[in-house]
């Protein structure tokens, strides 16, 4: 698929739903894009859906530079990094309290505005736009951040999957110029053979291909 649209993700969810039959997945983990959230809810109902903490932290660190001269930026960056340390059912309360303390001390920065000079069309903008974006990232829709605490089989990140995807993108980059059809075929072969670890697995894979494709 060219992009992560609702239609594209919906097609994948339909395939997964058909494979699972009457069974529902234990849960889901995603970066919380609207199309993904909507598709999972549409196909699997109210299964536990964890918002990937790694995506949240990476997004916050990108908006809050490590060497920023503002103490507010440094402290909010530190709070964002502490999100990954949440391990017990009590920890979210402690983490949210840190956010409230930050807001009490630096919340005025979220409202500061810069007046534009007369030559510009825009009349004003928020002075600390990235701090505002990071604040919203950490405070908006918080409940999905902690689904993993009450659903032990649901991981807090989808890093394991991201690693696979990153590797596949690198492989495609090494073979630029292939058509979409060839890209799909290449990835299918690559995924198949990287999961064949023993001669027994290879024999099993060959037996499947022979039955499904060569003898028909």
**Residues near 186 by Cβ (< 8 Å), separated by ≥ 6?**
171, 172, 175, 178
* Least confident window among 109-123, 144-158, 189-203: 189-203
Q: Residue 21, SS3? A: coil
Residues in a beta bridge with 125: 114
Q: CA-CA distance, 24 to 37, in Å (whole number)?
A: 16
Average pLDDT taken over every residue of the chain: 92
pTM, two decimal places: 0.81
What would the pLDDT profile of 24-53 be if each residue is shown by its tens digit?
999 999 999 999 999 999 999 989 999 999
Residue spans of alpha helices (H) in the chain: 6-20, 34-44, 53-63, 71-82, 91-106, 129-139, 147-150, 159-174, 180-194, 199-209
Q: Which pLDDT belongs to residue 216?
A: 58
Q: Which pLDDT belongs to residue 139?
A: 97
Q: Residue 144, SS3? A: helix
Q: Which pLDDT belongs to residue 196?
A: 84
Q: CA-CA distance, 164 to 166, in Å (whole number)?
A: 5
Among the listed residues 203, 197, 5, 194, the one whose alpha carbon sits nearest the alpha carbon of residue 186: 194
What would the pLDDT profile of 139-149 be if each residue is shown by its tens digit?
999 999 999 99
Among the listed residues 77, 39, 41, the one whose alpha carbon sits nearest the alpha carbon of residue 57: 77
What would the pLDDT profile of 101-116 be if each residue is shown by its tens digit?
999 999 999 999 999 9
Asked whether 58 and 159 are in contact (CB, 8 A), the reply is: no
Three-state DSSP string of 43-58: HHCCCCEEECHHHHHH
Q: Which pLDDT belongs to residue 126?
A: 96
| pLDDT classification of 64: cutoffs 50, 70, 90 | very high
Q: Which pLDDT belongs to residue 172?
A: 86
81 compared with 22, residue with greater pLDDT: 81
């Amino acid at each position: 698929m060219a992009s992560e649209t609702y239609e594209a993700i919906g097609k994948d969810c339909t395939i997964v739903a058909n494979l699972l039959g009457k069974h529902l997945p234990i849960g889901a983990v995603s970066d919380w894009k609207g199309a993904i959230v909507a598709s999972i809810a549409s196909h699997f109902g109210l299964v536990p859906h964890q918002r990937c903490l790694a995506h949240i932290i990476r997004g916050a660190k990108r908006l809050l530079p490590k060497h920023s001269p503002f103490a507010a930026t440094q402290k909010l960056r530190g709070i964002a990094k502490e999100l990954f340390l949440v391990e017990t059912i009590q920890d979210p309360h402690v983490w949210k309290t840190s956010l409230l303390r930050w807001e009490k001390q630096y919340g005025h920065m979220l409202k500061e505005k810069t007046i534009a000079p007369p030559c510009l069309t825009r009349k004003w903008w928020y002075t600390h736009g990235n701090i505002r974006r990071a604040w919203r990232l950490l405070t908006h829709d918080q409940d999905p951040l902690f689904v993993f605490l009450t659903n032990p089989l649901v991981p807090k990140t989808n890093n394991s999957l991201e690693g696979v995807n990153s590797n596949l993108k690198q492989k495609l980059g090494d073979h630029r110029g292939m058509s979409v059809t060839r890209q799909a075929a290449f990835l299918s072969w690559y995924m198949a053979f990287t999961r064949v670890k023993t001669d027994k697995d290879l024999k099993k894979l060959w037996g499947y291909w022979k039955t499904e494709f060569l003898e028909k």
